[in-house]
Structure 1
Amino acid sequence: MRSSILFCLSLIVLLAACAKPAPAYRDEAFTAESPFEYRSTLEPLDNCQVGQRALLSQGYQVEMGRPNSVKGSKFFQPESGHQTELSITLVCLPSGSGGSVLYASAVQSRYELKSASSSAGVSVAGMGSISLPWMANKEAMVKVADETVTDPDFYKRLFALIGNLEGE
C-alpha cells in the first residue's frame, strides 16, 4: 500500500515537471479598452513630435524611422553584472473623429554578464598540433529576457507627460 502511494506521488511529480507552460496567446484578451493608446486633437505628425520631445526630456536616446513613429531607448544598471534596456515605440495615426491616436508599446530587455573560457591550440606543419593551456576568459552581456510592459500606470505616466507637453 505504502509503495503504491509513493509510486503515484512520484508519477504525479514527474508529470508536473514535464508539463509545458501555457502559451502566452491564450491570455490575450483583445479588449476595446487599451492602456496603450492616447487620443489627441493634434495631427499625427505633431503628436509624434510631442512624443519625441517627451522621450528626449526623460533621457531616452531617440531615433525616428518614419514620420509617424518614434522609437526611444534607455539603459539602466540595477546592479553590477546586470543591465536593463527599456525601449518605447510610439506610432501616431489619424483618428476617425479628427485629431490622432498615439499608440505606445514598451519592451524591457534584461542582460546579464556571462563569461566563457577558451584554450589555444597551435599546429605546426610536419610536427603535429600542440594544445597550450593559455586560458582566456571572455565576458559579454547576454540578453536573458524580453518582456512587453503591460502596466497601465506606466503608460498613464507617459501619456500625462505627453499631455503636458502638447500645449508647448
Structure 2
Amino acid sequence: MPQPIAGAAEAAMYKASVRALLRLAVKRLNNGDPSLLLKMAAPDAELMFPGNNSWAAMYRPVVKGRQPYATHRGVDECMSFAQRFVDEGIQFVIEDVLVNGPPWRIRIAVRVHVYIPGADGHDRYNNRAVAFLLARWGRLVMWEDYEDTERVAALDYE
C-alpha cells in the first residue's frame, strides 16, 4: 500500500482554507463590504486591470505591453477600485478557485461570472473573468484580471 506524502494533508487543508477565505471575501464584497478583501492585501499590493476603460485608467494612463502593468498600486488605490464595484452593484459568482504553491508564494486562479442586475430582471452588465492572484504569507501582493474588456468599455458608455 502506498504511503501518504509527508505534508500532503496539511497542504490540502491550507489550500482549502485559502479557497474558503476567498469565497467569504467575495461574498462580503457582493454584500457591499470590501473590507475583508482589502485586509488581505499587502500595503504595496498591485492590481492589473486590462483595456481602454475607466476602470483601468482610474489613476494612470493605460500602458500596453508584454509585461503586466499595475493600474492600481497600494491599498488606497485598490480600495477605490473595490468601492467602485460596490457602488456599481457588481456581483460575482465564483465558478472555480485553483490554489497552488507554498504559503510564501501561493498562486490562486479564480474564474467568475460578473454581472450587474437590472431593474427589469435582466442583467444590466455581464461578463466572465479569470483573476490570477499571488499571495505571500496570507497577504495578496498581486491581482491580475482577464475579461472581455469590450464589455467593460461598453459599461463606461452606458
Higher RCO (CA < 8 A, seq sep 6+): 2
TM-score, length-scaled by structure 1: 0.25
Greater helix share, structure number: 2
Greater strand share, structure number: 1
